[in-house]
Amino acid sequence: MTNESKTVVVVGHGMVGHRFVQTLRDRDTADTWRVEVVCEEADPAYDRVGLSSYVGAWQRDLLALQGNTYAGDERVITHLGEAVTGIDRAARRVTTSAGREIDYDALVLATGSYAFVPPVPGHDHEKCFVYRTLDDLDEIRATAEAAGPGAPGIVVGGGLLGLEAANALKLMGMTPHVVEFAPRLMPMQVDDGGGAVLKNLVTELGLVVHTGVGTANIADGEAGGLRVTLSDETELDAALVVFSAGVRPRDQLARDAGLAIGERGGVLVDDVCRTDDPAIFAIGEVAAVEGRCYGLVAPGYSTAEVVADQLLGADSTFPGADMSTKLKLLGVDVASFGDAMGATDNALEIVYHDPVAGRYAKVVVSDDAKTLLGGILVGDASAYAMLKPMVGREIPGDPAALIAPAGGPAVGIDALPDDAEICSCNGVSKGTICSAIAAGACEIADIKKETCAGTTCGGCVPSIKQLLEASGVELSKSLCEHFEQSRRELFEIVAVTGIRTFSALIDAYGTGQGCEICKPTVASILASTSSDHILDGEQMSLQDTNDHFLANLQKNGSYSVVPRIPGGEVTPEQLIVIGEIARDFGLYTKITGGQRIDLFGARVDQLPLIWRRLVDAGMESGHAYGKSLRTVKSCVGSTWCRYGVQDSVGMAVFLEKRYRGLRSPHKLKFGVSGCARECAEARGKDVGVIATENGWNLYVAGNGGQSPKHAQLLASGVDDATLVAYIDRYLMFYIRTADRLQRTAPWLESLEGGLDHLKAVVCEDGLGLAADLESAMERHVAGYRDEWAAVLEDEDKLKRFVSFVNAPEVADPTIRFTETERKVPVLLDMPTVRDTEGVPT
């Protein structure tokens, strides 16, 4: 350690402040600098980009940035929960809120930004929040939980951060409304066409969008909530309001110290991020580099590295900023890159727009159509990883092929040059990643450690995987970062060890606290290996929204009720009960393609009342909400049809009752046809049974959906007993060996040996598993019990089914319908109608 070391004080310990400290310590091989970090938040640097991932887990340490405590580094001191209150530039000294005085040789301002709150009357209400820190989310969570599931929450601002906040409210069980003054969502990232598709997609997924309007007033509303008035005089009831209308640089400390400020705010710095005081630098969102502030993490990291180099005598300068963005919210992909809006002179735009499929893609090219300038992707951003590194480069072929739905991008990862930037957050090129792979980094985690690629937003991870595959590396089958085992391996562990809780499994075979990947996967495995109720004990916390309430959540916060109708066979008495329930509870009814009746529009507190009547009528859960058997569709068969050669209805009823409640990696659908005319469409199902004069033909691994697949013939001319034995083996083999959320069709395609191997296992017992697989199915059949019947007998479980936990007798007033030709949900995007006493109607 040198005796001539100098002190640099860092004000702020966000992602950029932490990057500066890490970079300086990594590059300061002579230990020239000693670092003191003053952080106003109580938590050291955490992943603010991934703030929404805090929702659900509520574990702060899961967002902690690697190395944020600098353990073992004596040259870094951190002061948490302490703010710098003043800068004495003449003495080169800062004063903190704890009365501490720290002298500096260099001062780095990394104070970031704060959430802008427009001066709307009522903006300072105790139920108005901003979306910026972990503490903010804790406060929002407390208010959301008090309001109860489905309660409306309003987000003011429909930009990138606004949709992040809306996503967080959705994850908390609220019904989010987004109010955006611009005529479209994400106005800085997408154009009108992309904004229209984005609005449709997020509306279908439960967000209520109000564009082209502002927020005029916030006041107290009914039942302790808020009433928000928009600029078009629309009134909305809400449990809370979150302001996410943009950010402003936190430059007050610099202003008080007399430093030069940019015209639009921010600490004015030059291209090496130095202020007008040569001993003071500014980085990240607070830095106005040559007058411009950047609100993304990638340019913030660049400023941090530039200042680290400056302190160590290097001559690097700020290289400019890549403002490309890619996010996935509520399952919707959105990406923009380069000159997305076509601002370049004479630029040409090529657009692919499919509103039915919910996809919008645009590329901006030079006037000679040879150079890619930028683009926008909404609904499907899979091309982003390939297109972004091509910006500014020659297009190999027809530019329309870059976004054509059939072929996708015209180039592969191999065609990119080594200097193409794969990770824009950390400025990592293809060549750097390939060099790391060549040096032995053969896992995603290894590449992250060696190059920092993929450690920030994660958007480049698919490209890293492609580079690994192109290098001949066999990728890990790990379920997620918490389990190095595959789903298949975890299934075997659970089956052999008898472990019955997620916590016990992760303690013994995993690490950390778990995530949105491994928790529901383990929940499915536990459900597939026992007949325990999915709402018992710890199992309850692993389920998604639908399984939490044993019903499908609909777009307006109501739920659907789907009783099982085996094989489509139903008694007149049961039909009468269904009709009476629909009438008494005001439900919308629909006969589905799976030959059963769905009842839509039930509030969560009505579900037990409805199911009591259905159970008393001899009906049970149809498992429309679960990854399990849904329906067994049948024709009328030989009982009624003059062409029928087998009793398809009887077989369908038997199969549906045998496999009901069977939890699996994905949903299962059956079909049973009484003759070759195939009226039950059995060859489009996971299990298809078709009658012949010689017995049953068994088809497997078909499905509808986005990628329809015809089922394949597994066995022909088998009798009843053999048919059932083969289905038992097939289903249990699939459940044991499939990946998470993998339907039977892609499972069979990925199965080594394909259909021939499946025949060997199921029909020939080539692996000696037949008895074991059949025994596992018999245990399921013997242990089956209707989930709703069990809920109705358990007072603790019944307590879950209330609209508001703090007022269980109050119905959710946000769920409304309009009576037209049929019952249609109202998504609260119109003024609330009130009766003479002010009660919502």
Q: Give the separation between CA 458 and CA 387, rounded to whole angstroms.
A: 16
Give the chain's count of helices (H) and strands (E): 26, 39
- Chain centroid to CA 140: 19
CA distance readout (Å), 57 to 62, 172, 523, 553: 8, 11, 16, 21
Type and span of the H or E element at 373: strand 372-378
- Helix 720-737 to helix 754-762 angle (10° resolution) is 120
Token pair listed for 60: 């702060």
- Chain centroid to CA 493: 28
Instruction: Categorise residue 311: left if φ over 0, alpha if ψ from -120 to 50, beta otherwise.
Output: alpha
- Chain centroid to CA 697: 41
Cross-sheet strand order for the sheet of 215-220: 215-220, 226-230, 235-238
CA distance readout (Å), 591 to 386, 610, 628: 44, 18, 20
Give the end-to-end CA distance of the chain in Å, rounded to a whole number. Answer: 74
- Written in H, E and C, the secondary structure of 224-247 is HCEEEEECCCCEEEECEEEECCCE
Rg (CA), the chain: 30
CB count within 10 Å of CB 267 equals 29
- Helix 502-509 to helix 487-497 angle (10° resolution) is 110
Q: Give the separation between CA 5 and CA 66, rounded to whole angstroms.
A: 26
Token pair listed for 210: 């109000």
Binding residues for [4Fe-4S] cluster: 635, 641, 675, 679
Contact 520, 514 (CB under 8 A): no
Q: Give the separation between CA 259 and CA 255, rounded to whole angstroms.
A: 6
CB count within 10 Å of CB 74 equals 9
Q: Give the separation between CA 819 and CA 61, rounded to whole angstroms.
A: 49
Contact 554, 562 (CB under 8 A): no
Binding residues: 635, 641, 675, 679
Q: Where are the alpha helices (DSSP H) in 419-571?
A: 430-438, 444-451, 461-470, 487-497, 502-509, 518-528, 539-542, 545-549
Residue 815 per-residue DSSP state: -
Q: Give the separation between CA 9 and CA 280, rounded to whole angstroms.
A: 10
Q: Give the separation between CA 525 and CA 642, rounded to whole angstroms.
A: 44
What residues have CB less than 8 Å from 353, skipping those under 6 apart?
A: 193, 197, 359, 360, 361
Binding residues for siroheme: 679
